[in-house]
Structure formats: structure tokens, C-alpha cells
Amino acid sequence: MADMTGRFAPTPSGLMHLGNARTALLAWLQIRSRGGSFLLRMEDIDGPRSRAEYAEAALRDLRWLGLDWDEGPDVSGNRGPYTQSERLSCYEEALRRLESRDLLYPCYCSRAELAAVASAPHGLSSEGPAYPGTCRRLSAEERAERALVKQPSLRFAVPEDEIVTFQDDCAGLQTTAPGAGGDFVVRRADGIFSYQLAVTVDDALMGVTDVLRGSDLLDSTPRQLLLFEALGWQPPRYAHVPLLMGPDGKRLAKRHGGISLAAIRESGVTPQQAVGLLANWSGLLDRPEPVKPEELFEAYRERGLPREPVVVLEEELAVSLGGKP
């Protein structure tokens, strides 16, 4: 299937760690094991949280692992730019099209929503509870009155009885409750476009056919599907892989310490050892033996994607840092 296009889309708000690296490896294997093209997109839409040095570090870390891409911030191609902060006009245009179809409304509610919506939510609960639709029902006069004192965010109006159904390559058939999670923000009051909007526009305009990402984004997908439909675009196939968990049973994250690829590299671990560990945690190798990414094609084709979350043990983290088992 040489016409497959996949992508890895890191947010440069911190150093790449083993969890992100495993998602990148699986997304790369999904596409490269079938001869498709792979893109790298830098999701720095949330300006205040993103840093150029993390974007550079992400590219360096991914290359160190032995992954490559056909197009990306450092490889030119005809689907760019590949950095979200350089794509604002694409998001503007999408908003204009949604507005012309009467699918957006201004929301004056002041909620902590401002903080969350530009970054990928790690579970929809981080975007807050379903919006009750307060501002959707405002009259023109009420809107004008509120506009005098507050800059609104813009919300996408989801029909109350809307049920979104899709087949996920890892998680199986997904069906939302009626209302599909409620009306969601597409542009924050401070003008920053939301993750949901930006990621949908980018996946569509870049011709992405297959999205593979962590299962923490599974419940964002119905929102993105609603946007694909409203904008008249064909959605990609989705695979949401179960996450790596730390020894405490919580999502592997910075707080587990020492898991950044930079720290692992500095401790003397080779890229092949790191890839071996990630492959073992993904069910592609029975033991964490050193391996190059391209040596995993066959195992990937035979064994497919992981279906269960993996708890990474303290000793395994120590090994990843160059310690002995």
C-alpha cells in the first residue's frame, strides 16, 4: 500500500521520552513496513508552552533512534509547512468555512478552558466536562452585550443527538454517547487555534491516511471526525495504541524521571538498545535485544499493534539508563 501516509506529530513542550518514542516507532513501523510515506509535524500551536529547543531536540532524538521521514520541518516537501505556527492561514480558512455553514458560535464563558484546548488533551476530561451549551442559546442582543466586555472563544456546535461511531485499529469499534462530548472550542479567546481544529486541518491537507497515536487521544477522535465531516474531507484510519505505564501504574511521563531520550543517550545506551526496549514493550520482541527499526518490519507485520497497556518496571527503566538488570 504505497499510497499510505502516516505522521508523527510531537508537541515541543518538553523533551521526548520513552513513551513518545514508542508511539513514534509504532507510527513509523505501521507506514514504513508497508512502503508508505511518513511525515513529521511539529505541533507548536500553543505558543507559550512550546519551545524551539524542544522541537530541535525532538528531531535529533527521533533520528538518533534511527527513524526517518520523507517530509518534515527539516525536509522540504509539497505538503508543508510542517510546523503548526507556520500554518495559521490554513486554520483561518477552515474556520471561515465552518462559519459560513453556521457551525460556530461565540462563547463568553470564562473557564479554565483557556489553558487546555490548544494542547492535545490527555483524556477528554482534561478539556473539562461536556459544555452545557450556555452561549449557544444567546440571542443576538445578549451576544452584543457580552462582546462589549469579553473576547469570546469560538465553539463548534455539535447536534444534541449526534452519535459518532468509528472503527479503531487497536481499540475496536467506538461509539459516543448522544451529543458526542458536547460543543468544543476551535479557537480560544486569546486567538490560539485549538488542538482539535489544527490537527484535523493538518491531517486533511497533508493527505494523512493513517493516524497512529496514544490511547490518551482516543476520545478526541469523535471531535476530529465531526470536523472532517463538516469540512467535507475524508478522515484517516485511526489506531490508538495503549500507553506505557510507569512502575506506579500511571501513564509514563516526565515525573517518572530519567526517561528522556537525551538522558538515555547520555548514559551510554545505544539507539539499537533503546529501540529493542521499545519493541519489547510493544510485543514485537520477546526480549529487549538491540535492534534497528527496519529490522522490526517482519515482526510488526506478523504481530501487529499492541492491544494492552504495558507497565514498565523499575528494573527495566534502570536498564534503559545503562544499568545492568
Q: Under the criterion CB under 6 A, does residue 103 sit at the interface with ligand GLU?
A: no
Q: Exposed/middle/buried for 128, CB within 10 Å: 0-12, 13-18, 19+? A: middle
Residue in the structure block whose three cell numbers are 547520555: 266
Q: Name which of residues 135 to 194 contact ligand GLU (CB under 6 A).
A: none
Q: Under the criterion CB under 6 A, does residue 215 sit at the interface with ligand GLU?
A: no
In whole angstroms, give the CA distance from residue 42 to residue 197: 15
Collapsed DSSP state (helix, strand, coil) of residue 219: helix
Which residues on adjacent β-strands are paired with residue 251? 245
**Which listed residue (39, 120, 264, 310) binds ligand GLU by CB under 6 A?**
120
Collapsed DSSP state (helix, strand, coil) of residue 56: helix
x/- binding map, residues 225-254, to ligand GLU, per CB under 6 A? Answer: ------------------------------
- What is the arrangement of strands in the sheet containing 237-241, beginning at the earlier edge strand? 37-40, 5-8, 210-214, 237-241, 165-168, 172-175
Decide if 254 is catalytic.
Answer: yes
**Which listed residue (154, 217, 285, 299) binds ligand GLU by CB under 6 A?**
217
Q: Helices (DSSP H) in 206-238: which residue ranges?
A: 221-230
43 backbone φψ class: left, alpha, beta (φ>0; ψ -120 to 50) = beta
Work out how close the CB of 265 gets to ligand GLU at its nearest, in angstroms, rounded to a whole number.
20
Residue number, 116 or 217, with CB nearest to ligand GLU: 217
Q: Which stretch binds ligand GLU (CB under 6 A): 3-11, 60-68, 254-262, 291-299?
A: 3-11
Give the interface size with ligand GLU as a residue count (CB under 6 A): 8
Q: What's the start-to-end Cα distance of the chain, in Å?
A: 40
**Which listed residue (25, 199, 244, 285) binds ligand GLU by CB under 6 A?**
199
* Short-list 135, 126, 144, 119, CA closest to 47: 119
Q: Under the criterion CB under 6 A, does residue 26 sit at the interface with ligand GLU?
A: no
**Which listed residue (4, 5, 6, 9) binds ligand GLU by CB under 6 A?**
9
Q: Which stretch binds ligand GLU (CB under 6 A): 7-15, 149-157, 301-309, 316-324?
A: 7-15
Work out how close the CB of 214 gets to ligand GLU at its nearest, in angstroms, rounded to a whole number.
7
Residue number, 59 or 285, with CB nearest to ligand GLU: 59
**Which listed residue (4, 5, 6, 11) binds ligand GLU by CB under 6 A?**
11
DSSP 161: T
Q: Under the criterion CB under 6 A, does residue 43 sit at the interface with ligand GLU?
A: yes
x/- binding map, residues 62-101, to ligand GLU, per CB under 6 A? Answer: ----------------------------------------
Q: Specify the DSSP element, H or E, that contains 244.
A: strand 244-245
- What is the arrangement of strands in the sheet containing 184-187, beginning at the earlier edge strand? 104-107, 153-156, 184-187
Q: Under the criterion CB under 6 A, does residue 208 sit at the interface with ligand GLU?
A: no
Q: Under the criterion CB under 6 A, does residue 320 sit at the interface with ligand GLU?
A: no
Contacts of 252 by beta carbon, 8 Å cutoff, 6+ apart: 17, 18, 19, 243, 244, 245, 246, 259, 312
Catalytic member of 150, 250, 254, 292: 254
* Short-list 208, 204, 163, CA closest to 71: 208
Residue in the structure block whose three cell numbers are 473557564: 111
Binding site for ligand GLU (CB under 6 A): 9-11, 43, 120, 199, 213, 217
Catalytic residue numbers read 254
